[in-house]
Amino acid sequence: MARVTSHLLAGAAALGLGYALIGGASALSAEAVVHAPAPLVTAPATTNSETAIFAGGCYWGVQGVFQHVKGVTSAVSGFTGGVAGTATYDRVSDGDTGHAESVRVTFDPRVVSYAELLRVYFSVITDPTELNRQGPDEGTQYRSALFPTSPAQAKVARAYLAQLSQAKLWPAPIVTRLEPLKAFYPAPAYHQDYLTRHPDAPYIAYNDMPKVKALKAMYPQLWREQPVLVKG
């Protein structure tokens, strides 16, 4: 698997720094965390289950973080933005399919709102100023993008992007895209729960485990110790 190999090599290249940092409360990743403000616009819970889709780099870390958020009942890695015929790992890795590596998050809005998930996403998952890349991964398939599944979610996402742009938390402009949802296609089984199954893999240890630790430190009210896994 070419992309898996590149991930492992990228992690190995960072080991001199990564292993010195991982394990402490102040662990850093390739992307610094930002304490994003609470969203000013939210939506009332009208059901006990919603689904939202997030793209923010390699789906291993995106899935791994959301699996530790209280109120999330499912987080599945997959592809969004292209057509069914190109929704395979090898084709998406070519970077020309329109797909983004993404995660479909199902959650109970009575426990955690879509607005709170957005706050987690911008705080510890994605660098919204990186265009068509995240950390060591380059290509449109690693873009930072939101795929709302309802008009209410779109309204909250649009308002929060405006709020964050006005707050100027990052030194560069926000390039996170708000895209219409076409369809979501789950990734192969060996990519599901990857962070939980391979926490010591160099790529995961350096790029993604610090994000999970940041979630626990920054948002203890949203933290769940046992992740909700695709494979149970």
Each residue's pLDDT tens digit in the chain (232 positions)?
345 544 544 444 433 333 223 333 333 344 578 999 999 999 999 999 999 999 999 999 999 999 999 999 999 999 999 999 999 999 999 999 999 999 999 999 999 999 999 999 999 999 999 999 999 999 999 999 999 999 999 999 999 999 999 999 999 999 999 999 999 999 999 999 999 999 999 999 999 999 999 999 999 999 999 999 998 6
What values do phi and psi take at 197, rounded to 5?
-80, -25
Structure tokens at 189: 């089984």
- E strand segments, 162-232: 177-178, 184-186
3-class DSSP state of 88: coil
Domains and CATH numbers, the chain: 33-194 (3.30.1060.10)
3-class DSSP state of 213: helix
List, by residue number, the catalytic residues: 58
Task: Indicate yes or no: pTM above 0.75.
Answer: yes
CB 199 within 8 A of CB 205: yes
CB 31 within 8 A of CB 129: no
